[in-house]
């Protein structure tokens, strides 16, 4: 199974110059946990709800003046849509990453999370079990 089969293509983005309050409000309004940071059409980083708390708020930074660019993770690891889902899962586990932007020639085309991968693996296992049960069922 390829990443393109499970990735979300409606990725929310933000500029590195925006405040972290703007980022938090944007995440809340869309019910998401991260934003891909884009600058001049390219992916320059990623900022998560955890980044906002751990890197900014707990250090006492002025949330209205502190920018996304100051607290984003950069450089960000990206993957290709053709990557195998299990390879993406291995990369995420190896690097401690929960979300991976999917890029095509540096252009953002999607995002995949560890939850997306878990759902895909769960469904694949269910399909295998159901298939085996059908094969094992007595024919009448």
Q: Residue 110's Cα: distance from chain center in Å?
A: 8
Output the DSSP codes for 10-60.
Answer: ---EE-TTSBHHHHHHHHHHHT-SEEEEEETTEEEEEEEHHHIIIIIGGGT
Give the model's pLDDT for residue 57.
75
| CATH C-level class of 3-136 | alpha beta
Residue 11: is its pLDDT beyond 80?
A: yes
> Exposed (0-12), middle (13-18) or buried (19+): which is 17, by Cβ within 10 Å?
exposed
pLDDT in tens, 70-112: 999 999 999 999 999 999 999 999 999 999 999 998 899 999 9
- The confidence score (pLDDT) of residue 12 equals 96
**pLDDT category, 137, cuts 50, 70, 90?**
low
Closest CA to 82 of 104, 99, 97: 104
Q: Which of 45-54, 106-115, 128-137 has the lowest mean pLDDT?
A: 128-137
Give the closest residue to 78 by CA, choosing from 95, 104, 97, 102: 102
Kindly list the domain boundaries of the chain, sorted by start residue: 3-136
Q: What is the pLDDT of residues 16-51, one digit of tens each?
A: 999 999 999 999 999 999 999 999 878 999 999 998
- CA–CA–CA angle 78, 63, 97 (5° rounding): 25
Is the pLDDT at 132 greater than 70? The verdict is no
- What is the spatial distance between Cα 15 and Cα 121, in angstroms, rounded to a whole number? 33
Q: Please give the DSSP secondary-structure letter assigned to residue 4.
A: G
Element (H, E) at 126: helix 114-136
Verdict on whether the full-model pTM lies above 0.85: no
Local structure of residue 78 (DSSP, 8 states): -
Residue 104 token pair? 């095509």
């Amino acid at each position: 199974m390829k990443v393109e089969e499970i990735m979300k293509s409606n990725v929310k983005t933000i500029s590195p110059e925006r405040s972290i309050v703007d980022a938090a409000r944007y995440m809340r309004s869309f019910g998401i946990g991260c934003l891909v940071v884009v600058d001049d059409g390219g992916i320059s980083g990623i900022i998560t709800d955890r980044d906002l708390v751990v890197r900014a708020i707990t250090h006492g930074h002025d949330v209205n003046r502190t920018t996304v660019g100051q607290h984003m993770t950069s450089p960000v690891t990206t993957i290709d849509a053709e990557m195998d889902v299990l390879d993406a899962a291995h990369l995420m586990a190896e690097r401690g990453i929960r979300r991976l932007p999917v890029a095509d020639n540096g252009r953002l085309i999607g995002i995949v999370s560890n939850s997306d991968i878990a759902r895909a693996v769960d469904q694949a296992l269910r399909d295998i079990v159901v298939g085996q049960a059908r094969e094992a069922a007595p024919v009448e």
